């Protein structure tokens, strides 16, 4: 029986792709309500975890699977899962060991997915996104994150400026990625901890109202073509340096 020919309930999401579903099976299998596999799908590790966790499954043709989730990268597997759960921002502030990554007007779900995956790979990070004028965690974000959402907390706040003020009161230093002659080279500055990093949109950067909250302005040295990194790639460079200095 094809139960998913209609969209899932509002309190459910569709997770697709081998890595995304595998990591969810490892970390939070209780959030998975059902899994549909393409009739020729084969993955010992995934099928073993499905069986061990007694998750209902169904085998379907490629055409029927594509009806459930019209996307290019299904990789033969779609899972119905609980809606994404955000962590309250105040709870994040209780964990001073975390570095906070604030995102200002990041609207591309692919960029948000890359940032979540990057933050998870380096570890010790949390991602904070605004509720308005920005992309929230949706099915595309989860697919691009490739399971990264299972390993770091993500918080949704109604006012980014107020959240930065709260972080400051908790002792966080606020650093921001800016394009300015006064910005310090990320590879040469000694970073203070606990640290919060603010990243802006690709087209407009950090809003002026938020820029005044910064304690440190940072830049990435570029000696090549007069182009710029997208926010996902910039996040990876900053996270690498933050992680390196935090552990030394």
pLDDT digits (tens, 9 = 90+) for 167-189: 999 999 999 998 777 899 999 99
pLDDT of residue 222: 80
Number of independent structural domains in the chain? 2
Query: Token digits for 159?
Result: 């006012």
For residue 73, pLDDT beyond 60: yes
Angle, CA 15 vertex, CA 198 and CA 128 arms, to 5°: 15
Q: Is 76 left (phi over 0), alpha (psi -120 to 50) or beta?
A: left
Does one domain contain both 108 and 205?
A: yes
* Domain span including residue 63: 12-82
Q: What is the dihedral of CA 231, 234, 239, 240, to 10 degrees?
A: 150
Specify the DSSP class assigned to residue 31: G
pTM to 2 decimal places: 0.93
For residue 155, pLDDT beyond 80: yes
22 located within any domain: yes
Among candidate residues 21, 55, 82, the one where a domain is terminated: 82
* Residue 138 pLDDT class (50, 70, 90 cuts): very high
4 located within any domain: no
Among candidate residues 39, 56, 82, the one where a domain is terminated: 82
Does one domain contain both 31 and 153?
A: no
């Amino acid at each position: 029986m094809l139960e998913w020919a209609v969209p899932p309930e509002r309190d459910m999401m569709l997770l697709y792709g081998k890595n995304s579903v595998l990591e969810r099976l490892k970390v939070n299998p209780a959030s998975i309500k059902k899994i549909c596999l393409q009739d020729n799908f084969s993955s010992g590790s995934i099928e073993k975890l499905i069986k061990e966790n007694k998750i209902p499954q169904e085998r379907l043709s490629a055409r029927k699977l594509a009806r459930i989730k019209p996307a290019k990268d299904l990789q033969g597997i779609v899972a119905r899962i609980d809606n994404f759960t955000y962590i309250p921002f105040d709870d994040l502030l209780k964990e001073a060991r975390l570095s906070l990554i604030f995102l200002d007007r990041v609207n591309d779900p692919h960029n948000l997915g890359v940032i979540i995956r990057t933050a998870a790979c380096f570890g010790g990070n949390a991602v904070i996104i605004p509720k308005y004028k920005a992309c929230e965690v949706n099915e595309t974000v989860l697919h691009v994150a490739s399971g990264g959402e299972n390993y770091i907390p993500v918080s949704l706040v109604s006012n980014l400026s107020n959240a930065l003020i709260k972080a400051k009161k908790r002792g966080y230093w606020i650093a921001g990625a800016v394009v300015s002659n006064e910005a310090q080279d990320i590879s040469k500055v000694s970073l203070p901890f606990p640290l919060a990093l603010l990243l802006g949109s690709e087209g407009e950067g950090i809003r002026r109202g938020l820029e005044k909250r910064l304690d440190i302005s940072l830049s990435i040295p570029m000696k090549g073509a007069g182009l710029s990194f997208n926010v996902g790639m910039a996040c990876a460079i900053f996270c690498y340096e933050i992680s390196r200095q935090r552990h030394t």
